[in-house]
Structures are given as structure tokens and as C-alpha cells.
Structure 1
Amino acid sequence: MQIDHDEIMRRAAAIAPTLAAHARECDAARKLTAESMASMVNAGMFRIPQPRRVSGYELSLRTLADAVTSLSEACPASGWVLMVMGAHHWCMGSFPEAAQDEVFGDGRDGLVAGTLSSQGVASVADGGYRIEGRWQFCSGVDHAEWVILGCADAATQRPSVHVVVPRAELEVDDTWQVMGLQGTGSKDVVAHNIFVPLNRAIDTRTLFRGASPHAINHATNLYRLSAEAMLSVSVATAVLGSAKFALRQFIERTRERRVILTGVRKAEHGPTQVRLAEAAAEVHSADLLIHDILAEFDRLTATGASFDNDHRVRAKWQAAYAAELCRRAVARMFSGSGAHAVYTPSALQAAFRNVNVGAQHASIDFDNSAEQYARARLGLSS
């Protein structure tokens, strides 16, 4: 059977009801339920960006993005974990083939969690590196078999190398007490003098620029894009899914609400209609911004053209602005949803918390992304 974009979206639609049914349970447990994770694994969601040479589908980033957005509408935590771990499965396409084989060989699912920011340190050792430190925000680590970690040079403290290590070699510290996206289980991991061989490591700059020599040894040019830009756009797709969920909930809630003092239907209220129209336009604009960049990713993948700094800053800015539009839209809808929206069972309250937590991700930092984009457009040095 051929696995293509349409088949992935069919599978995503098929598992969405299961994910939705377990969404609140995930939040209560502060990690994905076994049922939610198994649904995504069995549907092949994590194989979407995985290299074909190691049993992946090697499909476009647009397919991964649309799957993440779709599943985030059903369960924001599940969509987020797919987004993060999917990005790491994509990153593995730039690692040495020996690492790809060790993680995914013989049809294994692999399931790679991790943190791309260089929070811990690496010291050069005979045949590899010794890593030490603490990494935050390891979404889905409870269900992972491997973990990608960004490391700074122990001497200079500058980003140096990314490594992939078995999760069993790490300590998982449950620090995930947060206001939103609780079900992602984005806990800390701690490494105590772990040895990592060279064949499970890649230079950070090489990975972030999409310049790995291993990236050209695949059936497509999918892995020749910037990991930094790819992650930014991926994060925005998960935020978009939560915003679409909020928009649907706001419409359904507004149809049944009435003004307490007069009994007039809220749906007939002009300011509420304007609020809905503006929020819908913001969510739609965010969707267009994200898919504009995904189309550019598709073009670069199809042609093999180089991914330059202009592409990077444009992708990061459009992702950051898309997430900000979603945040504004959900805040506008939440503030127009009445006092009952503040109760914990409220779907809009949950969406408000999830979107605001998702939009805090460092890869879509609004201020930094705007500055980098503007400097590039003005011809100023970065």
C-alpha cells in the first residue's frame, strides 16, 4: 500500500476520536496515556518524516504539519508530542547512517524525544563525547526509547554538538508542573557523565544549517533544510491546531449562549459577531502564513536548492507571527466567552492555556524572530 499525504490524513482522522476521548486524562496524568501514544504509533504518525532507508515514509513537512494540526485539534498534548518527536525523527536523517540504523533499524519505531537547545555540555573523549547536565522540555520522554540532546562545548559554553542517547541511560526528573499542555509530559532529563560514540553525534551548526553530508544519502532532499527553521514552523502548526479547536468551541458555545439580563441570544449580538469574525481571520491568516513556508520547503526539497539565511529568517518570522495571531485570536475569544469560561472543564479555558504555553516556545520567540527578519530585509549584519 502506498503511504502518501491523503493516506496519512485519513489515518489522522481515524484516530482523532480516540485522542479526543483521552485528552483530559492525558492532562490529569501529565503525560500521554498509553492508548493515545499507541494510537499514533500504530497509525504510523511518527514515521511521516522518518528516512525511507530505515522504514520511514519520508513524506513532506507539509504532511507532518497537517497531521500535527489535525491531531492538535483533537488533543493538544498528542499533537504537540507528535510535533516534537516527529521533528526529532526528521533530524535523525542528518545523523550518520549508523545512528539511523541503531535507532530505527529492523523496522523499529525508535521514538525519539529530546531537546535541541544546548542546555548540557559535551567534552571530547576517545571515540566520542562525554555529556553532562540537565535538559528541560523533553516532550513525550515517558514514551521515548531515544533522546536527542543539544550540547555546549564544556570549555567555551558555545553550542557544539547534538547527540542521541538511549533514554534508559538518562535520569527523568518530573518537573512538569505547568499551566497548559500538561499532557505532553515535557519533563527534564539529566545526564551523569554519559559516553556517546561519534556515530551518534553531529555538529550543531551542520544540523541547524541543513548541511549534513548524510542528508544527501536519502531518496529525497527532505533533510537538506535547516533544522532551526523546521522546528519553528513545526511548533506553529501545533499552536494552530489548538487555535482551530478554540474557534470551533467558541462558535458552538456562542450559538447556545444568552445574555443573562435580557435573554437575547449572544449569536445576535453585533460585538460578538465582530469578535468571531476577527478571530477567524487571524486563525486563517496564521494557517496561510504557515502553509506559505511549507510550500517553500516543498519547492526547495523538490529542486535541491540551497537553504540560505533569507529562507531561515523568513520561516522563523512567519512561524512566530502565525503563533502570535493564534494567541491573539484565542485571547479575544476567551475574553468574550463569559464567566463560565473560567471553570476548569471549559474547553475554551483549556485552549487559552494551551495556546499561550505553546506560543512561549523559544523557537518562535516573537521579538527575536522579528528582529532577525527585519535586519535581513534591511541588509544589516545578523
Structure 2
Amino acid sequence: MQIDHDEIMRRAIAISPTLAAHARECDAARKLAAASMAIVVNAGMFRIPQPRRVRGYELSLRILADAVTCLSEACPSSGWVLMVMGAHHWCMGSFPEAAQDEVFGDGRDGLVAGTLSSQGSATAVDGGYRVEGRWQFCSGVDHAHWVILGCADPSTHRPSVHVVVPRGELEVDDTWHVMGLQGTGSKDVQAHDVFVPAHRAIDTRILFRGASPHAANHATNLYRLSAEAMLSVSVSTAVLGSAKFALLQFIERTKERRVILTGARKADHGPTQVRLSEAAAEIQCADLLLHDILGEFDRLMTTGETFDNDHRVRAKWQAAYAAELCRRAVARMFSGSGAHAVYAPSALQAAFRNINVGAQHASIDFDNSAELYARARLGLNS
């Protein structure tokens, strides 16, 4: 069977009803339901960005993005976990081959959670590193076998290495009591003097630039992109899925709503129609912005051209602006949905909460991304 965009989307659409049926269960449990995780794994979703040399599909980031958006429309938490863990499976393509084999060898579904920001520390010792600290926002950790952790140098406090640690060697602290995306189970993890061998570590600067020598040893140029830019775009594709879900919910809700005092149909109300039109346009613009940069990722993957700083700041800004457009669109629809939208069972209320939590992700910080982009365009980065 050929595993391509059409096949991945066929699978994503096929599992979406099951994910939608378990979405509230995920939120209540504050982690993905076992049935949800199992069906995503069995559909091969986590293999989309996984290296082919360890039985992954090694498909483009555009294909992963479309799968994430599709699943996020059905269950925002499931789409988010695929997005985050998928990014870590992609990162593994830049690690030494020995680490790839240890995590994914013999065709294992070596599920990798993690936190790319350098919140803990790693001290160089003979044969590897001693890792210590606490990391927040470790989405999907309850179902993970491995965890990628960003580490700083304890003497300089600057990012130094990223390491891969067996989930069993870490302590999980259930801190995930939040307003949205509850089902992602994005809890804290702690490391207490954990030894990590050198083959399960990579220099942070090399990973973030897409400059790992191991990235050149694959069948494609997929792993020669910037991890920083890749994560920013990936986050926004999950936010986009939640926004598309909200738009459909708003349309269906508006078709049946009536003004309590007069009985008039809300669908006939001009300002409501304008809200719908503006929200739909903003979501479409977000989709176009993301697919524009994903198309550039595809081009770079095909040509092997170096991923430079201009690509990085453009990707981060388009991702951040796309997420902001989605946030604005959902806020506009929520504010036009009447008092009944505030009740817990309201799908639009859930979408409003999920969007606002997702858009808070540091990788798509609106202000920082806008400043980086503007400074690059004005030639102020030198």
C-alpha cells in the first residue's frame, strides 16, 4: 500500500468519529482516553514524521499538518497530542542513529513526549550527561515511552543539549488543571540526577538550526529544517483545527437559534451573518498562511536548500499570525452565540477555551514573533 497524503487523510477521517465520541472523556480524565490514543497509534499517525530507516513513513510536514488539523476538528486534545508528539518523532531524525534505533527499533511504536524548552539542566560527565530539573507542558506523557527534554548548561544557564530519557526514569507531577485542552495531559515531569548516554543527546543549536549531521543520512531532506520553526507551524495547525470545528458549530447553532423575545430566526439577523462571514474569512486566511509556509517547507525538503534565518522568522510570524486570526474568529463567534453558549455542554464554549489555551503556546507568541519578523525585514538583526 502506498502511504501518501490521500491515504493519511483517509485514515484521519476514518478515526475522527471515534475521537469525537471520546473527546469529553479525555477532558474529564485530563489525559487522552486509552481508546483515543490506541486508535491514533494504530492508524499510524505518529509514524508520519518518523524516519523511514526505523519504519516510519518520513512524509512531509504538510501531511502531518493536515492530519493534525483534521484530528483537532474531531477532538482538540487528540490533535494536540499528535502535533506535539509528532514533532518529537520528527526531532528524533536529527539524533544519532543509535538513539533512533533504541527508541523505534524493530518497528516499535516508541511514543515520544517531551518539552523542547530548556527548563532543566544537563551536566557533562564521562559518557554522557547528568540531567536534573522540572519541565512543564509535557503533552501526552501518560502514554509515552520516551521523553525529549531541553537542557541548559548549569553554569551559564544557556540552552545546551536536548536529551532523550525513558519515561520510567522520570517523575510525573500532575499539575494539569487548566481552562482548555484538558485532555492533552500536559503535566510536569521531573528528573533527579538521571544519567543520559551521549548517543541520546544532541546540541540544542544544531537541532534548532536543522544542522545535524545525522539529518543528512535519511532518504529525504525532511530533518534539515529548523526544529524551532517546525514546532511553531505545527502548533498553529492544531489551533486551526479547533477554529474550523468552532465555525461548523456556530453555523449549526445559528441555523436553529431564535431570539427569545421575538422568536425571530438568528440566521436572518444581518449582524450575525457578518460575524459568520468575518470569522470564516479569518480562518481561511489562517489556513492559507500556514499552507504557504508548509509549501516552502516542501520546497526546501525537495531541493535541500539551507534553512536560513529568513525562513525561520517568516515561518514563526506566519504561524503566530494564523493562530491569532483563529483566536479572533472564535472570540467573535462566541460573543455572538448568546447566553446559552456559557454553559459547560456548549461545544462553542469548549472551542473558545481550547483556542485560547492553544494560542498561549510560547512558540507562537504574537509579540515576539512580530518583532523578530519586522527586525529581519528592516535589516536590524546584524
Q: When the two structures are superposed, what TM-score results if normalisation uses the length of structure 2?
A: 1.00
Counterpart check, 1:233 vs 2:233: yes
Describe the SS at the equivalent of 1:207. Answer: helix
Displacement after TM superposition at 1:227 (Å): 0.2
- Mapped to 2, the partners of 1:357 and 1:145 lie a distance apart of 26
Counterpart check, 1:296 vs 2:296: yes
Describe the SS at the equivalent of 2:264. Answer: coil
Letter in 2 for 1:195: F
Written as runs of structure 1 = structure 2, the 5 A alignment for 1:53-68 is: 53-68=53-68
Q: Spell out, residue by residue over 1:336-357, the C-alpha distance to the aligned partner (whole angstroms, 9 max, x if none).
A: 0000000000000000000000
Written as runs of structure 1 = structure 2, the 5 A alignment for 1:168-187 is: 168-187=168-187
Letter in 2 for 1:279: A
Letter in 2 for 1:28: A
- Mapped to 1, the partners of 2:265 and 2:289 lie a distance apart of 34
Q: Spell out, residue by residue over 1:90-110, the C-alpha distance to the aligned partner (whole angstroms, 9 max, x if none).
A: 000000000000000000011
1:48 maps to which residue?
A: 48
Letter in 2 for 1:103: V
Counterpart check, 1:28 vs 2:16: no
Displacement after TM superposition at 1:117 (Å): 0.1
1:189 maps to which residue?
A: 189
Q: Spell out, residue by residue over 1:102-156, the C-alpha distance to the aligned partner (whole angstroms, 9 max, x if none).
A: 0000000110000000000000110100000000000000000000000000110
- Mapped to 2, the partners of 1:277 and 1:14 lie a distance apart of 29
- Mapped to 2, the partners of 1:320 and 1:158 lie a distance apart of 25
1:314 maps to which residue?
A: 314
Displacement after TM superposition at 1:212 (Å): 0.1
1:85 maps to which residue?
A: 85
Displacement after TM superposition at 1:65 (Å): 0.1
Displacement after TM superposition at 1:157 (Å): 0.3
Letter in 2 for 1:323: A
- Mapped to 2, the partners of 1:271 and 1:157 lie a distance apart of 53
Displacement after TM superposition at 1:158 (Å): 0.2
2:243 maps to which residue?
A: 243
Letter in 1 for 2:208: F
- Mapped to 2, the partners of 1:289 and 1:48 lie a distance apart of 22
1:265 maps to which residue?
A: 265
1:256 maps to which residue?
A: 256
2:140 maps to which residue?
A: 140
Displacement after TM superposition at 1:30 (Å): 0.1
- Mapped to 1, the partners of 2:4 and 2:197 lie a distance apart of 35
2:381 maps to which residue?
A: 381
Q: Give runs of ≥4 in structure 1 deviating > 3 Å.
A: none
1:10 maps to which residue?
A: 10
Displacement after TM superposition at 1:2 (Å): 1.3
- Mapped to 1, the partners of 2:347 and 2:290 lie a distance apart of 25
- Mapped to 2, the partners of 1:172 and 1:259 lie a distance apart of 49
Describe the SS at the equivalent of 2:22. Answer: helix
Displacement after TM superposition at 1:381 (Å): 1.6
1:112 maps to which residue?
A: 112
Describe the SS at the equivalent of 1:368. Answer: helix
2:155 maps to which residue?
A: 155
- Mapped to 1, the partners of 2:16 and 2:274 lie a distance apart of 31
Counterpart check, 1:166 vs 2:171: no
Letter in 2 for 1:357: V
Counterpart check, 1:37 vs 2:37: yes
State how many pairs are aligned. Answer: 382
Q: Spell out, residue by residue over 1:242-281, the C-alpha distance to the aligned partner (whole angstroms, 9 max, x if none).
A: 0000000000000000011111100000000000000000
- Mapped to 2, the partners of 1:110 and 1:309 lie a distance apart of 32
2:224 maps to which residue?
A: 224
- Mapped to 2, the partners of 1:286 and 1:31 lie a distance apart of 28
2:344 maps to which residue?
A: 344
Counterpart check, 1:353 vs 2:359: no
2:95 maps to which residue?
A: 95
| Structure 2 unmatched ranges of 5 or more | none
Letter in 2 for 1:164: V
- Mapped to 2, the partners of 1:4 and 1:28 lie a distance apart of 35
| Structure 1 unmatched ranges of 5 or more | none
